[in-house]
Structure 1
Amino acid sequence: MRIRLLHGLALLATGLLTGAFGYGAANLVPTFNAVPLDMRLSFHAELMKMNGITMQAAMAVSILSAFALAALAHGPARLIAASAGLLTLGSFLITRFGNVPINGLIKEWARTSPPVDHAEILRRWELFNDLRTLTALIAFALLIALALRRQPTPPQ
C-alpha cells in the first residue's frame, strides 16, 4: 500500500511538472516569440518570479518521490523508478544551470536593454526549455509504464 501511494505521488508531481513544462513549450514560447521584445522580456521576468517557487517544489517532489519509490521497489521496477528520478533530476539540472542564468539576463534586459546577440541567447533558453520538457516527459512516461505493467502474481 505504501508503494502505491508513493507511486501515486510520483505520478502526480511528475505529471504536473511535465504539464507545466509542456504548456510553456507549446504555448508560452510561441507567444513570447509573437509579441514585441520589450513585452516578452517584462512578462518573462515576472513569470519567472512565480515559477521559481512552484516549479522548484514540483521538481523536488518529483525527484524525491521517484527515488523513494525506487528504494522501496524491487527488480525492474526499481530501475524504472530510479530512471524516472534521474530524468527528473536532469530537468532540475538543466533548469538550474541552463535556464536560470538566462532568466537572470532576461530580468536585467527588462530593466535596461538586450545585447546585440539576445536572439541567440533566447534560442539557447528555448533549447534548454525543450530539453527539460523532454526529460520530464520521459520520466512521466516511465512512471506511467510502471503503473500499467503487470504485477507478478504471488505463488499460492
Structure 2
Amino acid sequence: MRKTGGDAQELDAGHGQQGRQSTHRPNGAALRGVRALAVFSTGLLAGALGYGAVNVVQTFQAVPLDVRLTFHTALMRMNGPVVQTTMGVALVSSLVLALLVRRRLRIPAGAAVAGILTSFLVTRFGNVPINAQIKVWAAGSIPADHATLLARWEMFNVVRTVAAIAAFVLVVLVADRTGKVDRS
C-alpha cells in the first residue's frame, strides 16, 4: 500500500496496476487547519465554561445576593458575545471535521458536534432566559422564588459545561487519530 496526496491506493499484486481506491480525502493542509480550529475552539469553550463552573459560580454563592445579581448581569453582558461566537466556531469547525474524517472517526466527531449543539441549546433556552430575569432582579425587586431559579441556572450551567468538555475530549481524540494517519 502506498500513500499519495492523502489517498491510500492498493496496488494489484504482481501487476503494478491500481486496484481499489479509497474515497476522496481532503488535502493534508485543509484537514490540519480544520482539526486545529476544532481543537482550539472546543478547548476554549470547555475552558471558559469549566472556569465559570468551578470559580465564578462558587463565587456567586459566596457573596451577598445583590452583589451576585449585579456581577452576574455585568458578566453576561460581556460574556454573551464571546461565548456565542466561540460556540459557533466550535460547532462549524467540528462539523466540518466530522465530514472530513474517515468513516470510523465520524461517530466520535459527530458526538462532539452533538455535545456542542447541546451546550448551545441549553445555553440559549435554559441559561439565557434566566439571565434576562436576573437582569430585571438586579434593577428592581427580587422575587420570592429566586433561589429556585438560580439553582435551575446552575443546573443548566453544569449540563452545558459537561457537554462542552465532552465535546472537547472527543475532538482531541479525533484530532489525535487523524494526526497519526498524517504522520504514517
Q: Same fold, TM exceeding 0.5? A: yes
Please give the per-residue CA displacement for 1:45-93, whole angstroms capped at 9, x wherever unaligned: 0110011110000000000000011111221222221211111011000
Q: Which of residues 71, 78, 81 is equivalent to 2:99?
A: 71
Q: Deviations over 1:87-137 (max 9, x none)?
A: 101100000000000000000000012111101110000000000000000
Question: What is the match of residue 118 of structure 1?
Answer: 146
2:45 equivalent to 1:17: yes
Hey, what does 1:100 align to over in structure 2? 128
Q: Are the structure 2 counterparts of residues 24 and 153 from structure 1 closer, same or farther at C-alpha, using a change threshold of 3 Å?
A: closer
In structure 1, the gaps of 5 or more residues are: none
Tell me if 1:151 matches 2:151: no
- Alignment equivalent of 1:45, drawn from 73, 93, 98: 73
Partner Cα distance (1:152, 1:41) in 2: 50
The correspondence of residues 27-42 of structure 1 with structure 2, limited to 5 A, is: 27-42=55-70
Q: RMSD of aligned C-alpha atoms? A: 1.4
Q: Secondary structure at the match of 1:151?
A: helix
Q: Is 1:131 the counterpart of 2:155 in the alignment?
A: no
Measure the CA separation in 2 of the matches of 1:27 and 1:144: 24
- SS of alignment partner, residue 116 of structure 1: coil
User: In 2, distance between residues paired with 1:76 and 1:103?
Assistant: 40
User: Any gaps of 5 or more consecutive residues in structure 2?
Assistant: 1-28
1:26 corresponds to: 54
Secondary structure of the structure 1 residue equivalent to 2:144: coil
Quick one: higher RCO (CA 8 Å, sep 6+), 1 or 2? 1
| Higher helix proportion (structure 1 or 2) | 1
Question: Are 1:58 and 2:95 matched, yes or no?
Answer: no
Q: Per residue, is there more strand in 1 or in 2?
A: 2
Deviation, 1:151, is 3.0
TM-score, L = length of structure 1: 0.94
Partners of 1:60 and 1:147 lie apart in 2 by 19
What is the CA–CA distance in structure 2 between the aligned matches of 1:53 and 1:22, rounded to whole Å?
17
* Shift of residue 153, structure 1, vs aligned partner: 8.5
Normalising by structure 2, we get a TM-score of 0.80
CA distance 1:16–1:3, shift in 2 (3 Å): same
Letter of the 2:117 partner, please give it: L
Q: How far apart, in 1, do the equivalents of 2:183 and 2:53 lie?
A: 41
